[in-house]
Structure 1
Amino acid sequence: MTEGLHIADIVAGYGSRRVIDGLTLPLVPPGTVVGLIGANGSGKSTLLKTVAGLLTGTAGGIRLDGDDLRRLPPAHRARRVGYLPQTVIRPSSLMVYEALLSALRATWPELSRARAEQRIEAVLGDLAITELALRPLDALSGGQRQMIGLAQVLVREPRLMLLDEPTSALDLRWQLSVLQRVRDEARGRAAIALVAIHDINLALRFCDRVAVLGNGLIAAGPPGDALTPDVLRRAFGVVARVETCSRGRAMVMADGVAADPEHHQEDTP
Protein backbone atom coordinates (compact mmCIF):
# COMPACT_ATOMS: atom_id res chain seq x y z
CA MET A 1 0.00 0.00 0.00
CA THR A 2 1.29 3.45 -0.94
CA GLU A 3 1.06 5.82 2.00
CA GLY A 4 0.07 9.41 1.40
CA LEU A 5 -2.40 11.32 -0.75
CA HIS A 6 -2.63 10.93 -4.50
CA ILE A 7 -4.88 13.25 -6.53
CA ALA A 8 -5.09 12.48 -10.25
CA ASP A 9 -7.05 13.77 -13.26
CA ILE A 10 -9.56 15.75 -11.19
CA VAL A 11 -12.45 17.31 -13.07
CA ALA A 12 -14.79 19.49 -11.01
CA GLY A 13 -16.96 22.57 -11.19
CA TYR A 14 -20.41 23.97 -10.60
CA GLY A 15 -23.20 22.96 -12.94
CA SER A 16 -21.97 23.14 -16.51
CA ARG A 17 -18.95 25.30 -15.67
CA ARG A 18 -15.66 23.50 -15.07
CA VAL A 19 -13.24 25.08 -12.64
CA ILE A 20 -10.76 22.19 -12.58
CA ASP A 21 -10.12 20.12 -15.70
CA GLY A 22 -7.70 17.21 -15.39
CA LEU A 23 -5.64 18.35 -12.39
CA THR A 24 -3.00 15.98 -11.01
CA LEU A 25 -0.78 16.65 -8.00
CA PRO A 26 2.41 14.81 -7.05
CA LEU A 27 2.02 12.19 -4.32
CA VAL A 28 1.85 13.90 -0.91
CA PRO A 29 3.65 11.84 1.77
CA PRO A 30 2.55 11.65 5.41
CA GLY A 31 3.66 14.51 7.63
CA THR A 32 3.40 17.09 4.85
CA VAL A 33 1.70 20.47 4.68
CA VAL A 34 0.83 21.52 1.13
CA GLY A 35 -0.14 25.12 0.42
CA LEU A 36 -2.64 25.62 -2.38
CA ILE A 37 -1.80 28.97 -4.00
CA GLY A 38 -3.39 30.82 -6.87
CA ALA A 39 -5.50 33.76 -7.92
CA ASN A 40 -9.17 34.03 -7.02
CA GLY A 41 -11.11 31.50 -9.05
CA SER A 42 -8.10 29.26 -9.75
CA GLY A 43 -9.76 26.27 -8.10
CA LYS A 44 -8.28 26.10 -4.59
CA SER A 45 -11.60 25.88 -2.76
CA THR A 46 -13.08 23.68 -5.49
CA LEU A 47 -10.23 21.21 -5.11
CA LEU A 48 -10.67 21.03 -1.34
CA LYS A 49 -14.43 20.50 -1.69
CA THR A 50 -13.83 17.80 -4.27
CA VAL A 51 -11.40 15.91 -2.03
CA ALA A 52 -13.85 16.34 0.87
CA GLY A 53 -16.59 14.76 -1.24
CA LEU A 54 -18.84 17.80 -1.15
CA LEU A 55 -19.32 18.32 -4.90
CA THR A 56 -21.36 16.21 -7.29
CA GLY A 57 -20.48 15.43 -10.88
CA THR A 58 -16.73 15.27 -10.27
CA ALA A 59 -14.27 12.83 -11.80
CA GLY A 60 -10.75 11.63 -11.15
CA GLY A 61 -8.86 9.62 -8.58
CA ILE A 62 -8.42 10.53 -4.91
CA ARG A 63 -6.54 7.95 -2.86
CA LEU A 64 -5.47 8.21 0.76
CA ASP A 65 -2.98 5.54 1.85
CA GLY A 66 -4.05 3.50 -1.14
CA ASP A 67 -7.78 3.68 -0.37
CA ASP A 68 -10.18 5.29 -2.83
CA LEU A 69 -11.86 8.04 -0.79
CA ARG A 70 -14.83 8.04 -3.14
CA ARG A 71 -15.62 4.43 -2.25
CA LEU A 72 -15.26 4.69 1.52
CA PRO A 73 -18.46 4.57 3.59
CA PRO A 74 -19.36 8.09 4.79
CA ALA A 75 -18.60 7.27 8.44
CA HIS A 76 -15.13 5.96 7.59
CA ARG A 77 -14.41 8.92 5.36
CA ALA A 78 -15.48 11.37 8.07
CA ARG A 79 -12.97 9.82 10.46
CA ARG A 80 -10.09 10.11 8.04
CA VAL A 81 -10.83 13.49 6.45
CA GLY A 82 -11.41 16.78 8.27
CA TYR A 83 -12.64 19.79 6.28
CA LEU A 84 -12.62 23.43 7.40
CA PRO A 85 -14.67 25.62 5.03
CA GLN A 86 -13.78 29.17 4.13
CA THR A 87 -16.81 30.57 5.97
CA VAL A 88 -16.41 30.73 9.73
CA ILE A 89 -18.66 28.72 12.03
CA ARG A 90 -22.02 30.40 12.59
CA PRO A 91 -22.88 32.14 15.86
CA SER A 92 -25.18 30.17 18.17
CA SER A 93 -25.96 29.70 21.85
CA LEU A 94 -23.87 26.50 21.83
CA MET A 95 -20.83 26.67 24.08
CA VAL A 96 -17.41 26.10 22.56
CA TYR A 97 -16.94 22.93 24.60
CA GLU A 98 -20.28 21.60 23.33
CA ALA A 99 -19.39 22.42 19.73
CA LEU A 100 -16.13 20.47 20.01
CA LEU A 101 -17.81 17.56 21.77
CA SER A 102 -20.46 17.38 19.05
CA ALA A 103 -17.80 17.31 16.32
CA LEU A 104 -15.95 14.55 18.15
CA ARG A 105 -19.04 12.46 18.88
CA ALA A 106 -20.09 12.64 15.23
CA THR A 107 -16.97 10.75 14.14
CA TRP A 108 -15.78 8.92 17.27
CA PRO A 109 -18.97 7.96 19.16
CA GLU A 110 -17.20 5.11 20.96
CA LEU A 111 -14.81 7.42 22.80
CA SER A 112 -15.34 7.54 26.55
CA ARG A 113 -16.37 10.84 28.06
CA ALA A 114 -13.02 11.09 29.82
CA ARG A 115 -11.07 10.50 26.60
CA ALA A 116 -13.22 12.99 24.71
CA GLU A 117 -12.61 15.62 27.38
CA GLN A 118 -8.87 14.95 27.22
CA ARG A 119 -8.84 15.57 23.47
CA ILE A 120 -10.86 18.76 23.79
CA GLU A 121 -8.68 20.08 26.59
CA ALA A 122 -5.51 19.27 24.63
CA VAL A 123 -6.68 21.00 21.43
CA LEU A 124 -7.87 24.12 23.22
CA GLY A 125 -4.57 24.26 25.08
CA ASP A 126 -2.48 23.74 21.93
CA LEU A 127 -4.35 26.59 20.21
CA ALA A 128 -4.06 28.78 23.35
CA ILE A 129 -7.83 29.33 23.52
CA THR A 130 -8.73 27.38 26.68
CA GLU A 131 -10.45 30.45 28.12
CA LEU A 132 -13.09 30.20 25.38
CA ALA A 133 -14.27 26.73 26.40
CA LEU A 134 -17.39 27.82 28.28
CA ARG A 135 -18.29 30.80 26.14
CA PRO A 136 -21.19 30.61 23.65
CA LEU A 137 -20.34 30.85 19.98
CA ASP A 138 -22.48 33.95 19.56
CA ALA A 139 -20.25 35.76 22.07
CA LEU A 140 -17.12 35.23 19.99
CA SER A 141 -15.53 37.34 17.27
CA GLY A 142 -15.24 36.07 13.71
CA GLY A 143 -11.59 35.26 14.25
CA GLN A 144 -12.34 33.33 17.43
CA ARG A 145 -15.05 31.33 15.68
CA GLN A 146 -12.57 30.52 12.94
CA MET A 147 -10.26 29.15 15.61
CA ILE A 148 -13.10 27.01 16.96
CA GLY A 149 -13.76 25.68 13.46
CA LEU A 150 -10.13 24.63 13.23
CA ALA A 151 -10.35 23.08 16.70
CA GLN A 152 -13.32 21.00 15.51
CA VAL A 153 -11.08 19.54 12.81
CA LEU A 154 -8.04 18.99 15.04
CA VAL A 155 -9.96 17.35 17.88
CA ARG A 156 -10.99 14.55 15.52
CA GLU A 157 -7.34 13.80 14.61
CA PRO A 158 -8.04 13.07 10.93
CA ARG A 159 -5.41 11.59 8.66
CA LEU A 160 -6.14 14.31 6.07
CA MET A 161 -6.88 17.94 6.94
CA LEU A 162 -8.47 20.15 4.27
CA LEU A 163 -8.25 23.77 5.41
CA ASP A 164 -9.73 26.54 3.27
CA GLU A 165 -8.05 29.82 4.20
CA PRO A 166 -7.85 28.98 7.93
CA THR A 167 -6.18 32.33 8.74
CA SER A 168 -8.41 34.70 6.75
CA ALA A 169 -10.16 36.18 9.82
CA LEU A 170 -7.10 36.22 12.08
CA ASP A 171 -4.59 38.89 12.98
CA LEU A 172 -0.89 38.33 12.34
CA ARG A 173 -0.10 36.76 15.72
CA TRP A 174 -2.85 34.17 15.37
CA GLN A 175 -1.98 33.50 11.73
CA LEU A 176 1.52 32.48 12.81
CA SER A 177 0.18 30.46 15.73
CA VAL A 178 -2.40 28.57 13.67
CA LEU A 179 -0.06 27.65 10.83
CA GLN A 180 2.61 26.53 13.28
CA ARG A 181 0.01 24.35 14.99
CA VAL A 182 -1.11 22.83 11.68
CA ARG A 183 2.48 22.03 10.78
CA ASP A 184 3.15 20.50 14.21
CA GLU A 185 -0.03 18.45 13.92
CA ALA A 186 0.92 17.08 10.51
CA ARG A 187 4.42 16.16 11.57
CA GLY A 188 3.46 14.88 15.02
CA ARG A 189 0.77 12.49 13.75
CA ALA A 190 2.20 11.85 10.27
CA ALA A 191 -0.98 13.46 8.94
CA ILE A 192 -1.42 15.46 5.73
CA ALA A 193 -2.73 19.00 5.38
CA LEU A 194 -3.91 20.73 2.23
CA VAL A 195 -4.20 24.43 3.01
CA ALA A 196 -5.66 27.04 0.67
CA ILE A 197 -3.75 30.20 1.49
CA HIS A 198 -3.46 33.67 -0.01
CA ASP A 199 -0.42 34.92 1.90
CA ILE A 200 2.51 33.64 -0.14
CA ASN A 201 5.06 34.54 2.52
CA LEU A 202 3.20 32.47 5.11
CA ALA A 203 3.20 29.59 2.65
CA LEU A 204 6.95 30.00 2.18
CA ARG A 205 7.44 29.82 5.92
CA PHE A 206 5.08 27.04 6.99
CA CYS A 207 4.37 24.77 4.01
CA ASP A 208 6.58 21.86 3.04
CA ARG A 209 5.27 22.02 -0.51
CA VAL A 210 3.08 24.28 -2.60
CA ALA A 211 0.81 23.66 -5.56
CA VAL A 212 0.28 26.77 -7.66
CA LEU A 213 -3.04 26.68 -9.51
CA GLY A 214 -4.22 28.67 -12.51
CA ASN A 215 -5.68 27.08 -15.64
CA GLY A 216 -4.38 23.82 -14.23
CA LEU A 217 -1.25 23.18 -12.22
CA ILE A 218 1.38 25.86 -12.88
CA ALA A 219 4.02 24.57 -10.48
CA ALA A 220 4.45 22.19 -7.54
CA GLY A 221 7.23 21.41 -5.13
CA PRO A 222 9.09 22.97 -2.19
CA PRO A 223 8.07 26.64 -1.89
CA GLY A 224 11.57 27.96 -2.46
CA ASP A 225 11.81 26.06 -5.73
CA ALA A 226 8.26 26.41 -7.05
CA LEU A 227 7.65 30.11 -6.35
CA THR A 228 9.81 31.71 -9.00
CA PRO A 229 9.24 35.16 -10.56
CA ASP A 230 7.92 33.49 -13.72
CA VAL A 231 5.47 31.32 -11.78
CA LEU A 232 4.24 34.33 -9.80
CA ARG A 233 3.70 36.27 -13.01
CA ARG A 234 1.78 33.42 -14.62
CA ALA A 235 -0.32 32.75 -11.51
CA PHE A 236 -1.06 36.28 -10.35
CA GLY A 237 -0.12 38.61 -13.18
CA VAL A 238 2.47 40.45 -11.07
CA VAL A 239 6.12 41.35 -11.32
CA ALA A 240 7.69 39.85 -8.21
CA ARG A 241 10.99 38.64 -6.88
CA VAL A 242 12.05 36.23 -4.15
CA GLU A 243 14.44 37.74 -1.61
CA THR A 244 16.08 36.40 1.54
CA CYS A 245 15.49 38.19 4.83
CA SER A 246 18.08 38.73 7.58
CA ARG A 247 17.08 35.42 9.18
CA GLY A 248 17.62 33.50 5.99
CA ARG A 249 13.94 33.06 5.13
CA ALA A 250 12.70 33.47 1.58
CA MET A 251 10.18 36.26 1.00
CA VAL A 252 8.20 37.33 -2.04
CA MET A 253 8.32 41.02 -2.89
CA ALA A 254 5.74 42.21 -5.43
CA ASP A 255 6.87 45.22 -7.47
CA GLY A 256 3.76 45.75 -9.56
CA VAL A 257 1.28 44.40 -12.07
CA ALA A 258 2.76 42.59 -15.05
CA ALA A 259 2.23 44.11 -18.47
CA ASP A 260 1.25 40.75 -19.95
CA PRO A 261 -0.43 38.67 -17.22
CA GLU A 262 -1.16 35.15 -18.38
CA HIS A 263 -3.52 34.03 -15.62
CA HIS A 264 -7.25 34.11 -16.18
CA GLN A 265 -9.60 34.48 -13.23
CA GLU A 266 -13.09 33.09 -13.10
CA ASP A 267 -15.91 33.84 -10.74
CA THR A 268 -16.70 31.27 -8.08
CA PRO A 269 -20.05 30.71 -6.43
Structure 2
Amino acid sequence: MEMSLQVTGLRFGYHSTPLFSSLTAQPFKRGEVTALIGPNGVGKSTLFQLLSGLLLPKEGTIALDGVNLAALSQRRRAERIFLLTQHTATRAALRVFEVILLAKRGWQSGKVTADDISKVEYLLDLLGIEHLADRLVPELSGGQQQLVAIGQALARDPDVLLLDEPTSALDLRRQLEVMHLVQDVTRQRNIVTIAALHDLNLASRFADRFLLIQDGAVKADGSPEAVLELGQTASAYGVGLTIERGSWGQLLVHPYLRR
Protein backbone atom coordinates (compact mmCIF):
# COMPACT_ATOMS: atom_id res chain seq x y z
CA MET A 1 0.00 0.00 0.00
CA GLU A 2 1.31 3.43 -0.93
CA MET A 3 2.00 5.57 2.13
CA SER A 4 -0.14 8.70 2.13
CA LEU A 5 -2.52 11.05 3.91
CA GLN A 6 -6.19 10.36 3.22
CA VAL A 7 -9.14 12.69 3.86
CA THR A 8 -12.60 11.22 3.51
CA GLY A 9 -16.06 12.67 4.13
CA LEU A 10 -15.10 15.56 6.41
CA ARG A 11 -18.05 17.50 7.82
CA PHE A 12 -17.44 20.60 9.91
CA GLY A 13 -18.96 23.97 10.64
CA TYR A 14 -18.88 26.84 13.10
CA HIS A 15 -22.03 26.98 15.26
CA SER A 16 -24.93 26.77 12.81
CA THR A 17 -22.87 27.68 9.75
CA PRO A 18 -21.67 24.62 7.77
CA LEU A 19 -18.24 24.88 6.13
CA PHE A 20 -17.48 21.37 4.87
CA SER A 21 -20.42 19.09 4.14
CA SER A 22 -18.51 15.99 2.98
CA LEU A 23 -15.03 16.97 1.89
CA THR A 24 -13.08 14.14 0.29
CA ALA A 25 -9.76 14.36 -1.56
CA GLN A 26 -7.56 11.97 -3.45
CA PRO A 27 -4.70 10.72 -1.21
CA PHE A 28 -1.87 13.17 -0.58
CA LYS A 29 1.28 11.26 -1.55
CA ARG A 30 4.59 11.30 0.26
CA GLY A 31 7.33 13.12 -1.62
CA GLU A 32 4.89 15.57 -3.24
CA VAL A 33 4.03 19.21 -2.57
CA THR A 34 0.32 20.02 -2.87
CA ALA A 35 -0.75 23.65 -3.22
CA LEU A 36 -4.08 24.27 -1.49
CA ILE A 37 -5.71 27.11 -3.41
CA GLY A 38 -8.92 29.09 -3.31
CA PRO A 39 -10.03 32.61 -2.30
CA ASN A 40 -10.13 33.86 1.28
CA GLY A 41 -12.85 32.39 3.44
CA VAL A 42 -13.22 28.98 1.79
CA GLY A 43 -11.76 27.12 4.78
CA LYS A 44 -8.10 26.49 3.95
CA SER A 45 -6.90 27.37 7.46
CA THR A 46 -9.79 25.41 8.99
CA LEU A 47 -8.86 22.35 6.93
CA PHE A 48 -5.30 22.60 8.26
CA GLN A 49 -6.60 22.76 11.82
CA LEU A 50 -8.71 19.67 11.20
CA LEU A 51 -5.75 17.80 9.74
CA SER A 52 -3.52 18.77 12.67
CA GLY A 53 -6.13 17.90 15.31
CA LEU A 54 -6.65 21.42 16.62
CA LEU A 55 -10.27 21.06 15.48
CA LEU A 56 -12.34 17.88 15.39
CA PRO A 57 -14.64 17.07 12.47
CA LYS A 58 -18.26 16.23 13.14
CA GLU A 59 -17.92 13.35 10.68
CA GLY A 60 -15.26 11.91 8.43
CA THR A 61 -11.86 10.27 8.58
CA ILE A 62 -8.27 11.51 8.39
CA ALA A 63 -5.75 8.68 8.06
CA LEU A 64 -1.98 8.64 7.67
CA ASP A 65 -0.43 5.53 6.16
CA GLY A 66 -3.64 3.66 6.95
CA VAL A 67 -3.82 4.77 10.59
CA ASN A 68 -6.88 6.79 11.66
CA LEU A 69 -5.43 9.89 13.31
CA ALA A 70 -8.42 10.12 15.64
CA ALA A 71 -7.01 7.04 17.39
CA LEU A 72 -3.74 8.81 18.24
CA SER A 73 -3.09 10.93 21.31
CA GLN A 74 -2.77 14.65 20.70
CA ARG A 75 0.94 14.38 21.51
CA ARG A 76 1.56 11.57 19.04
CA ARG A 77 -0.46 13.36 16.37
CA ALA A 78 1.58 16.54 16.92
CA GLU A 79 4.77 14.54 16.51
CA ARG A 80 3.66 13.31 13.10
CA ILE A 81 1.93 16.45 11.78
CA PHE A 82 3.32 19.98 12.03
CA LEU A 83 1.14 22.99 11.26
CA LEU A 84 3.03 26.15 10.45
CA THR A 85 0.89 29.26 10.73
CA GLN A 86 1.92 32.88 10.37
CA HIS A 87 2.11 33.08 14.18
CA THR A 88 3.91 29.81 14.95
CA ALA A 89 7.13 31.40 16.20
CA THR A 90 5.68 34.31 18.18
CA ARG A 91 3.99 32.61 21.12
CA ALA A 92 6.77 33.13 23.67
CA ALA A 93 9.48 35.72 24.36
CA LEU A 94 12.33 33.31 23.64
CA ARG A 95 15.45 33.60 21.55
CA VAL A 96 15.56 32.23 18.02
CA PHE A 97 17.97 29.45 18.91
CA GLU A 98 15.77 28.41 21.84
CA VAL A 99 12.48 28.15 19.93
CA ILE A 100 14.04 26.00 17.19
CA LEU A 101 15.76 23.86 19.83
CA LEU A 102 12.44 23.37 21.62
CA ALA A 103 10.87 22.26 18.34
CA LYS A 104 13.74 19.85 17.77
CA ARG A 105 13.42 18.36 21.24
CA GLY A 106 9.64 18.11 21.17
CA TRP A 107 8.55 16.15 24.24
CA GLN A 108 11.93 14.54 24.89
CA SER A 109 13.18 14.65 28.46
CA GLY A 110 16.78 14.81 29.60
CA LYS A 111 19.67 17.03 28.66
CA VAL A 112 20.20 18.78 25.35
CA THR A 113 22.66 16.78 23.26
CA ALA A 114 25.45 17.80 20.92
CA ASP A 115 23.29 16.46 18.07
CA ASP A 116 20.47 18.80 19.10
CA ILE A 117 22.81 21.80 19.03
CA SER A 118 24.31 20.76 15.72
CA LYS A 119 20.86 20.32 14.12
CA VAL A 120 19.72 23.78 15.20
CA GLU A 121 22.93 25.39 13.97
CA TYR A 122 22.51 23.59 10.64
CA LEU A 123 18.94 24.86 10.23
CA LEU A 124 19.87 28.43 11.15
CA ASP A 125 22.59 28.36 8.49
CA LEU A 126 20.29 26.69 5.95
CA LEU A 127 17.70 29.46 6.39
CA GLY A 128 20.30 32.23 6.46
CA ILE A 129 19.30 33.40 9.93
CA GLU A 130 22.32 32.31 11.96
CA HIS A 131 22.97 35.97 12.79
CA LEU A 132 19.57 36.08 14.55
CA ALA A 133 20.29 33.16 16.90
CA ASP A 134 20.42 35.29 20.05
CA ARG A 135 17.60 37.68 19.13
CA LEU A 136 14.23 37.53 20.89
CA VAL A 137 11.62 36.28 18.45
CA PRO A 138 8.96 38.98 19.17
CA GLU A 139 11.54 41.66 18.28
CA LEU A 140 12.02 40.29 14.76
CA SER A 141 10.32 41.49 11.59
CA GLY A 142 7.40 39.51 10.23
CA GLY A 143 9.55 37.96 7.54
CA GLN A 144 12.25 36.96 10.01
CA GLN A 145 9.63 35.40 12.30
CA GLN A 146 8.30 33.42 9.36
CA LEU A 147 11.77 32.02 8.66
CA VAL A 148 12.10 31.06 12.34
CA ALA A 149 8.74 29.27 12.13
CA ILE A 150 9.95 27.34 9.08
CA GLY A 151 13.04 26.41 11.10
CA GLN A 152 10.75 25.04 13.82
CA ALA A 153 8.83 22.98 11.28
CA LEU A 154 11.97 21.46 9.77
CA ALA A 155 13.45 20.77 13.22
CA ARG A 156 10.41 18.72 14.18
CA ASP A 157 10.94 16.40 11.17
CA PRO A 158 7.24 15.51 10.77
CA ASP A 159 5.54 13.03 8.43
CA VAL A 160 3.09 15.73 7.32
CA LEU A 161 4.01 19.39 6.91
CA LEU A 162 1.11 21.87 6.68
CA LEU A 163 2.13 25.37 5.61
CA ASP A 164 -0.44 28.16 5.90
CA GLU A 165 0.79 30.94 3.61
CA PRO A 166 4.49 30.26 4.37
CA THR A 167 5.81 33.05 2.12
CA SER A 168 3.32 35.85 2.84
CA ALA A 169 5.80 38.06 4.72
CA LEU A 170 8.90 37.26 2.66
CA ASP A 171 10.56 39.24 -0.10
CA LEU A 172 10.92 37.76 -3.60
CA ARG A 173 14.30 36.12 -3.08
CA ARG A 174 13.29 34.60 0.25
CA GLN A 175 10.05 33.28 -1.26
CA LEU A 176 12.02 31.37 -3.88
CA GLU A 177 14.60 30.15 -1.36
CA VAL A 178 11.97 28.91 1.07
CA MET A 179 9.88 27.13 -1.56
CA HIS A 180 13.01 25.50 -3.03
CA LEU A 181 13.83 24.32 0.49
CA VAL A 182 10.30 23.04 1.11
CA GLN A 183 10.36 21.16 -2.20
CA ASP A 184 13.76 19.60 -1.46
CA VAL A 185 12.83 18.59 2.10
CA THR A 186 9.57 17.05 0.92
CA ARG A 187 11.37 14.83 -1.57
CA GLN A 188 14.44 14.01 0.50
CA ARG A 189 12.48 13.13 3.66
CA ASN A 190 9.60 11.58 1.69
CA ILE A 191 6.93 13.49 3.60
CA VAL A 192 3.50 14.86 2.74
CA THR A 193 3.53 18.64 2.28
CA ILE A 194 0.42 20.78 1.77
CA ALA A 195 0.88 24.54 1.39
CA ALA A 196 -1.85 27.19 1.19
CA LEU A 197 -0.56 29.72 -1.33
CA HIS A 198 -2.17 32.79 -2.84
CA ASP A 199 0.53 33.40 -5.45
CA LEU A 200 -0.47 31.06 -8.27
CA ASN A 201 2.80 31.62 -10.14
CA LEU A 202 4.85 30.63 -7.10
CA ALA A 203 2.57 27.67 -6.45
CA SER A 204 2.82 26.55 -10.10
CA ARG A 205 6.58 26.59 -9.94
CA PHE A 206 6.99 24.43 -6.84
CA ALA A 207 3.84 22.33 -6.40
CA ASP A 208 3.29 18.91 -7.91
CA ARG A 209 -0.46 19.18 -7.45
CA PHE A 210 -3.16 21.81 -7.07
CA LEU A 211 -6.23 21.30 -4.88
CA LEU A 212 -8.94 23.94 -5.29
CA ILE A 213 -11.58 24.11 -2.58
CA GLN A 214 -14.75 26.20 -2.61
CA ASP A 215 -18.28 25.86 -1.23
CA GLY A 216 -17.18 23.18 1.21
CA ALA A 217 -15.86 20.76 -1.40
CA VAL A 218 -12.98 19.98 -3.72
CA LYS A 219 -13.71 21.79 -6.98
CA ALA A 220 -10.59 20.79 -8.92
CA ASP A 221 -7.67 18.46 -8.28
CA GLY A 222 -4.71 17.67 -10.50
CA SER A 223 -1.53 19.06 -11.96
CA PRO A 224 -1.08 22.85 -11.71
CA GLU A 225 -1.60 23.30 -15.44
CA ALA A 226 -4.70 21.11 -15.58
CA VAL A 227 -6.36 22.87 -12.63
CA LEU A 228 -5.49 26.38 -13.83
CA GLU A 229 -6.95 25.71 -17.25
CA LEU A 230 -10.31 24.74 -15.77
CA GLY A 231 -13.02 27.37 -15.66
CA GLN A 232 -13.69 26.56 -11.98
CA THR A 233 -10.38 28.13 -10.92
CA ALA A 234 -10.98 31.49 -12.57
CA SER A 235 -14.59 31.43 -11.36
CA ALA A 236 -13.53 30.71 -7.77
CA TYR A 237 -11.31 33.79 -7.69
CA GLY A 238 -13.74 35.96 -9.69
CA VAL A 239 -11.12 36.84 -12.31
CA GLY A 240 -10.01 35.80 -15.75
CA LEU A 241 -6.85 33.71 -16.09
CA THR A 242 -4.52 33.24 -19.03
CA ILE A 243 -1.82 30.57 -18.87
CA GLU A 244 1.38 30.34 -20.90
CA ARG A 245 4.78 28.69 -20.77
CA GLY A 246 7.83 30.83 -20.04
CA SER A 247 11.17 30.57 -21.83
CA TRP A 248 12.37 27.98 -19.27
CA GLY A 249 9.19 25.94 -19.50
CA GLN A 250 7.64 27.31 -16.30
CA LEU A 251 3.93 28.10 -16.08
CA LEU A 252 3.07 31.79 -16.12
CA VAL A 253 -0.33 32.80 -14.75
CA HIS A 254 -1.81 36.16 -15.73
CA PRO A 255 -4.97 37.12 -13.80
CA TYR A 256 -7.15 39.97 -15.03
CA LEU A 257 -10.41 41.61 -14.02
CA ARG A 258 -13.34 40.83 -16.23
CA ARG A 259 -15.15 43.91 -17.49
Output the TM-score relative to the length of structure 2: 0.93
Number of the residue aligned with 1:224: 225
Shift of 1:141: 0.5
Shift of 1:207: 0.5
Number of the residue aligned with 2:235: 234
- Kept after mapping to 2: 8 A contact 1:88/1:142: no
Shift of 1:42: 1.1
Residue identity (%): 38
| Structure 1 segment 10-21 matched on structure 2, within 5 A | 10-21=10-21
| Structure 1 segment 129-148 matched on structure 2, within 5 A | 129-148=129-148
- Kept after mapping to 2: 8 A contact 1:238/1:256: yes
Counterpart amino acid of residue 121 in structure 1:
E
User: Which whole-Å deviations, capped at 9, do the CAs of 1:4-44 have from their partners, x for residues lacking one?
Assistant: 11111111232222222211111111101110000111111
3-state secondary structure, aligned to 2:40:
coil
3-state secondary structure, aligned to 1:39:
coil
**Is 1:54 aligned to 2:54, yes or no?**
yes
Counterpart amino acid of residue 26 in structure 2:
P
Shift of 1:233: 2.1
CA distance in structure 2 between the partners assigned to 1:87 and 1:235 by the alignment: 27
CA distance in structure 1 between the partners assigned to 2:101 and 2:218 by the alignment: 38
- Kept after mapping to 1: 8 A contact 2:82/2:161: yes
Bigger drift between 223-232 and 185-194 goes to 223-232
Gapped runs of 5+ residues in structure 2?
none
Q: Would the alpha carbon gap of residues 233 and 71 (structure 1) be closer, same or farther in structure 2, given more than 3 Å must change? A: same
CA distance in structure 1 between the partners assigned to 2:124 and 2:228 by the alignment: 34
Shift of 1:58: 3.3
3-state secondary structure, aligned to 1:212:
strand
CA distance in structure 2 between the partners assigned to 1:151 and 1:118 by the alignment: 13
Shift of 1:139: 2.6
3-state secondary structure, aligned to 1:21:
strand
- Kept after mapping to 1: 8 A contact 2:10/2:58: yes
User: Which whole-Å deviations, capped at 9, do the CAs of 1:101-150 have from their partners, x for residues lacking one?
Assistant: 12222344468511211221222222121211111113311110111111
Number of the residue aligned with 1:169: 169
CA distance in structure 2 between the partners assigned to 1:57 and 1:158 by the alignment: 22
Counterpart amino acid of residue 125 in structure 1:
D
Shift of 1:73: 1.6
**Is 1:33 aligned to 2:24, yes or no?**
no
| Structure 1 segment 90-105 matched on structure 2, within 5 A | 90=90, 93-105=93-105
CA distance in structure 1 between the partners assigned to 2:240 and 2:26 by the alignment: 27
3-state secondary structure, aligned to 1:19:
strand
3-state secondary structure, aligned to 2:116:
helix
Number of the residue aligned with 2:77: 77
Q: Would the alpha carbon gap of residues 108 and 78 (structure 1) be closer, same or farther in structure 2, given more than 3 Å must change? A: farther
CA distance in structure 1 between the partners assigned to 2:15 and 2:79 by the alignment: 29
CA distance in structure 1 between the partners assigned to 2:61 and 2:16 by the alignment: 20
Output the TM-score relative to the length of structure 1: 0.90
3-state secondary structure, aligned to 2:99:
helix
Number of the residue aligned with 2:106: 106
3-state secondary structure, aligned to 1:147:
helix
Bigger drift between 98-107 and 34-43 goes to 98-107
CA distance in structure 1 between the partners assigned to 2:88 and 2:171 by the alignment: 15
| Structure 1 segment 112-261 matched on structure 2, within 5 A | 113-215=113-215, 216-257=217-258
3-state secondary structure, aligned to 1:138:
helix
Bigger drift between 40-49 and 226-235 goes to 226-235
Bigger drift between 211-220 and 119-128 goes to 119-128
3-state secondary structure, aligned to 1:193:
strand
3-state secondary structure, aligned to 1:79:
helix
Count of paired positions: 258
3-state secondary structure, aligned to 2:156:
coil
